[in-house]
Amino acid sequence: MIRVCEKQISAEEAIKMIQMGDRVLVGGFGICGTPFTLIDTITESDNARELTIISNNLGEAGKGLGKLLTSKQIKKAVGSYFTTNRDAVKAWNNGELEIELIPQGSLAEAIRAGGAGIAGFYTKTGVGSKLAEGKEVRVFDGEEYLFVKGIKANVALIKADKADTMGNLVYSKTARNFNPMMATAADYVIAEVDEIVEVGTLDPEQIVTPHAYVDAVVLNDRYEKIGGEYIERSR
């Protein structure tokens, strides 16, 4: 039985919050924990273009954010690992995509800092590399540290396993990845979920993202989870 969440809206209505040129946080590691339904819906929109996507990677060719890349709606990608998607490498080589690389741990901490209202932090990671070019380096206790600015965005698209009817979220194993941090670091947070349950059904100890962080909930109605993999339903 499908419950109705007080914050539930359609994917089409949700992505209207994304405007031309917005910075958008998108959950996922590879394609694990990726909000497929929301991404697919964006590719059908005329408004959400020239986007800066902040995510660990750009999905895979034709999957997840790979679809958004193919539809040429991404202007810039900020993340750690783009070579799993040959289309991303090709777009960068052709000058069609700007890429800003940031080490994975620094990316996670920058998003956490942005959500916590922290301007930035210093880390030894990246010191002396090309990633440090043009960035502030300071010396603490005789060692160099690189300044990394906290990350915030206009909108966050996250993927959770379940929401209750208030919008509290639980995640499924490694599909949790960057999603909880991203839920704290955007002006508007849209959570895609596979199931909505009644308040009181979820174990409070398992709730990772409280409803106060979630502005909208979208029920995944395009993909079916089979053997741990999301398969697009025929439409």
For 16-73, the three-class secondary structure string (H helix, E strand, C coil) is: HHCCCCCEEEECCECCECCCHHHHHHHHCCCCCCCEEEECCCCCECCECHHHHHHCCC
Structural tokens at position 194: 């596979």
Note whether residue 1 is domain-resident: no
pLDDT at position 3 is 61
Amino acid letter at 123? T
Report how far Cα 46 is from the mean position of its chain's Cα atoms.
Answer: 21
Note whether residue 98 is domain-resident: yes
Residues facing 163 on adjacent strands: 169, 196
Note whether residue 117 is domain-resident: yes
Residues facing 74 on adjacent strands: 51
**Sign of CA pseudo-dihedral 124, 125, 129, 134:** negative
Phi then psi for residue 24, to 5 deg, are -130, 120
Residue 15, domain CATH = 3.40.1080.10
CA distances from 28 to 36, 37, 55, 72, 172 (A): 10, 13, 7, 20, 12
Domain residues for the domain of 60 are 11-232
Note whether residue 5 is domain-resident: no
Q: 149 by DSSP, 3-state: which?
A: strand
Residue spans of the chain under pLDDT 50 = none
Residues facing 23 on adjacent strands: 52
The predicted model scores a pTM of 0.94
Note whether residue 6 is domain-resident: no
Closest CA to 149 of 208, 189, 183, 100: 100
Number of structural domains (the chain) is 1
Note whether residue 21 is domain-resident: yes
Residues facing 101 on adjacent strands: 79
Residues 6 or more apart whose Cβ sits within 8 Å of residue 46 = none
